Chains A and B, each alone.
Chain A
Amino acid sequence: MKKILILIAVILVVGCQNKKEEVKSCCSTNKSLIAAQETVLLPDNSVYNLDRKWQNQNGEKVSLAKLSGSPVIMTMIFTHCEYACPMMVNDLKKIEASFSEVERDRFRFVLVSFDDQRDTPKRLKDYAEVQNLGKNWILLHGDAEQVKELSVILQISYNKLEDGSFSHANRKLVLDQNGIIVFGQDGLQANSWPVVGAIRNVF
C-alpha cells in the first residue's frame, strides 16, 4: 500500500516537474590547456579564475585551479542542514551510481560549504564519513567573502539566517576540465540523466 502511494507520488512529481535545465554552450574549450599545474592559463570564463585559497576536508590549502584537468560536479551545502542538503547529496550519489568504477575516477564531486563559521575542515571530514562519500568527493571550506563570490558565479543564491543556518537555492553545476560551467540544474530530486549526460560530454 505504502509502496504504491510512493509510486504514485513519484509519478506525479516526475511527471509534473518543470525543471529549468540550461545548457550553456561551452566556448572554445582549448584541450591543450588541460594541465593540473598552478600556472595553467585558464580560459576567461573559467570559474577557476577565482584565485583564493580554500581548505579541503583534510585541512589542506587548495586553489580552485587545482581542480582543472577533470570534470567536476559542484554544488553548495552546509552540514547542519537537515532537509535540502542531505537530499542534494543523495541526488549526487545517484548520479555517481550511474557511472562505472573506472569512470568515477575521471571526475570529482565538489561540495562547497555556505557555513564559514561552523563547517571547519574537521567538521567537513566527519560529514564526508557519515555520508559515506568516496575519495573523489572534495569538501571545501572558505571565508564568507570567497563563499559569496563563488555563489555569485555559480548563481546559487543564499541568505544567512539569524540562527546561523542558511536558506539557499539547490543548484548543481557541471564544470568541464577548465572550470567552465557547461550545465546547471535546479531543484531537488531532479532527473540524474541530464547531469550524467553533461559529464559524459566533457569526459
Chain B
Amino acid sequence: MKTKKIYHRKAIMAIWFIALILFNIRCSSDTESEIVDLNKSVEVEVTAVLTDAPLVPPRIQAKANTKVIVHLEVIEKTMRLADGVDYTFWTFGGKVPGKFIRIRKGDQVEFHLHNHPDNMLPHNIDLHAVTGPGGGAEASLIAPGKSAQFSFRALNEGLYVYHCATAPVGMHIANGMYGLILVEPLEGYTPVDHEFYVMQSEFYTSGTFGAKGHQDFDMQKALDEKPDYVVMNGSVGASAGQNAMTVKVGETVRLFVGNAGPNLVSSFHAIGEIFDKVYVEGGSLINRDVQTTLIPAGGSAIVEFKCQVPGTLHLVDHSIFRAFNKGALAQIKVIGDENHTVYSGKEKEEVYLPEGSAIQHISSPKTTVSQQAVPEKTLEERLAAGEILYKQNCMACHMENGNGIGGTFPPLMNSDFLQARPDKGIGIVLHGLQGEITVNGNNYNNIMPAVALSDDQTASVLTYIFNKFNNKKELIKGADVKEWREKE
C-alpha cells in the first residue's frame, strides 16, 4: 500500500515535470535571454520607417514600452530580373526583397498588411519574429483591395525572415515575397559606420539564365530545386557595379543578410574579407573570424567586419557557380588609401623552394621600416593597437587565446621561453625564429617567419602579449625595438 503511494507520487512528479517541459517548449522558447515584461503598458507610439535593400532603417530611439506601427503594402509588379529580362514579382512594398523592418525587443507592433486593389491574388505575411499561429499568416490572409491588421509583441531578439505564406507558399516566395525584420536588443548592437541589407533568393524562370523578354514562373524547376537565377537583392547586379554599396577604408560594416530560398542554403562569403563577428543564424550566438557562414533558407546572419584596405569586396554564395553564373553576387566598394601592412599587393615573384630552409621574409627591407620616427605611447594605447595587430599578424598561428596549437605553434600564454629572453621577443618578430626550442616544457622545431611590422607596431603587439597572456607585465617602447633592430 505504502509503496504504491510512493510510486504514485513519483509518477505524478514525473508527469508534472514532463508537462512543464512541454509547456515551456510549446509556449515559450525564452529561457535564457531576458523575458519581456508583457504587463508594461505602451507609452510611446511611432510609425516604423521602412527601407529598400541595401539600406537599413535607423534605430528606433524612443524609450522602452513603444508601440511601433508598420504599414506594408503588397504589390504585384513587372520589373527587371536581369538586363533584358523581366519578371512579374509579387512584392512586399514594391521591391524585392521586401522592406526592411526594424524594431526592438519588447516593442508592441501593430501590423497593417495592405493588398493593392490591382493585384490578382490573395496574400498574407508570416513573420518569423512573431510568436503566434503562422507568425501572423492566419490573421493576415487578404483578398486584393483589402487590409488586415494584427498585433504582436517582439519577444525574441534577432534578425528574422518574413515571407508570404499563402498557398502555394513556395510560389509566393519564389515570386519575391520576403524580407527581413530586425528585432534589436533594447541596448542596440555596437555602433558601426555602415549597416546594409542583403538578401539572397532564387528565381525559377520559363527560359534559361539570360533568356530575354518576360519570364514566367516555372513550377517544375522549382520542384526540382534547379533555379536559373540566384540573386542578391532581387535581381542580377541589384547591389553590384554602379549599385554597389560604398564604404571608406577603416570603416566598420554590419550586414544584415537573409536567405529567402525558397530552396537553397547559402554559403555566404565575402571575397577579400574575413567576418570579425558573425551572429550565427541571426541569433545571439557570436562567432568570430569566420570566412563563410551558412545561412539556411528562411534564415539569416548578421556579419560584421572592418574594411582595412581599398578595393572591391564581393559578397557571394560560395556555392560558387551560383555567384558567377546565376547572379548571386553583391559588391562593397572600399575607397581610400592603401594599407600595406594589412595587404601588400603583389610584392615580388621569386623561385619557389619547396623545402624552404631560409627564414621567409615577408617584410619589406628593414631599413624602410626602421627609419620612421617612433612615437611613444601609454599602456592603454599599446594594448588597443596591439590587440588588432595580434589578430591580424599572429593569431592565425598562436590562436586568439595565445595557447598555440599542439606541437606546431608554441603558446604565448605564460611562456617561460619568451619571458626569459632579454630581447622581450623583439628579435623573434623582427627576424622570425627557427630551430628547436622548449616552451613550458614542450619541444618545438618549426619555422616562424619574420613579420613585417614597424618598430611602433612591434612594441604594441609584444606589449599586448606580455600583458594579456599572463606573462610578466611589460610596457615595451618603440625605442627598445629600434635599439634591437640596430644591434643587428
Q: Interface of A with B (CB < 8 Å)?
A: 1, 4-5, 8, 11-12, 15-16, 18, 20
Q: Which of A1, A5, A8, A16 contacts B27 (CB 8 A)?
A: A16
Q: Looking across the interface, which residue of chain B has its beta carbon closest to that of A4?
A: B12
Q: Which of B11, B12, B26, B133 contacts A12 (CB 8 A)?
A: B26
A18 to B11, CA, bound (A): 30
The smallest C-beta distance from A85 to any residue of chain B, in angstroms, reads 23
With A4-B15, A5-B15, A20-B139: A15-B23 Cβ-Cβ less than 8 Å? yes
Q: Looking across the interface, which residue of chain B has its beta carbon closest to that of A5?
A: B15
The contact sample of 22 A-B pairs, CB cut-off 8 A, is A1-B8, A1-B11, A1-B12, A4-B12, A4-B15, A4-B16, A8-B15, A8-B16, A8-B19, A12-B19, A12-B22, A12-B23, A15-B23, A15-B26, A15-B27, A16-B23, A16-B26, A16-B27, A18-B132, A18-B133, A20-B133, A20-B138
Contacts of B11 in A (CB 8 A): 1
**8 shortest interchain CB distances as A-B pairs:** A8-B19, A18-B133, A16-B26, A16-B27, A15-B27, A4-B12, A18-B132, A15-B23
Contacts of A8 in B (CB 8 A): 15-16, 19
The smallest C-beta distance from B28 to any residue of chain A, in angstroms, reads 9
Contacts of A16 in B (CB 8 A): 23, 26-27
B19 touches A11 (CB 8 A): yes
A168 to B331, CA, bound (A): 54
A5 to B19, CA, bound (A): 9
A12 to B15, CA, bound (A): 12
Contacts of A20 in B (CB 8 A): 133, 138-139
Q: Looking across the interface, which residue of chain B has its beta carbon closest to that of A22?
A: B139
Interface residues of B in 430-472 (CB under 8 A from A): none
A5 to B11, CA, bound (A): 11
A20 to B15, CA, bound (A): 30
The smallest C-beta distance from A183 to any residue of chain B, in angstroms, reads 16
A11 touches B23 (CB 8 A): yes
Q: Looking across the interface, which residue of chain A has its beta carbon closest to that of B24?
A: A15
Q: Looking across the interface, which residue of chain A has its beta carbon closest to that of B26?
A: A16
Contacts of A12 in B (CB 8 A): 19, 22-23, 26
Contacts of B19 in A (CB 8 A): 8, 11-12
Contacts of A18 in B (CB 8 A): 132-133
A15 to B27, CA, bound (A): 7
The smallest C-beta distance from B27 to any residue of chain A, in angstroms, reads 5
A15 to B11, CA, bound (A): 22
A20 to B26, CA, bound (A): 18
Q: Looking across the interface, which residue of chain A has its beta carbon closest to that of B8?
A: A1
The smallest C-beta distance from A116 to any residue of chain B, in angstroms, reads 29
The smallest C-beta distance from B142 to any residue of chain A, in angstroms, reads 14
Q: Looking across the interface, which residue of chain A has its beta carbon closest to that of B133?
A: A18
A5 to B26, CA, bound (A): 18
Contacts of B132 in A (CB 8 A): 18
Contacts of A5 in B (CB 8 A): 15
Contacts of B139 in A (CB 8 A): 20
The smallest C-beta distance from A10 to any residue of chain B, in angstroms, reads 11
Q: Looking across the interface, which residue of chain B has its beta carbon closest to that of A9?
A: B19
The smallest C-beta distance from B105 to any residue of chain A, in angstroms, reads 21
Can you list, as one digit per residue, whether each of B1-41 has a CB less than 8 Å from chain A (1) or not (0)?
00000001001100110010011001100000000000000
Contacts of B16 in A (CB 8 A): 4, 8
Other than the given A15-B23, A20-B138, 15 more pairs (CB < 8 A) read A1-B8, A1-B11, A1-B12, A4-B15, A4-B16, A8-B15, A8-B16, A11-B23, A12-B23, A15-B27, A16-B26, A16-B27, A18-B133, A20-B133, A20-B139
A104 to B224, CA, bound (A): 61
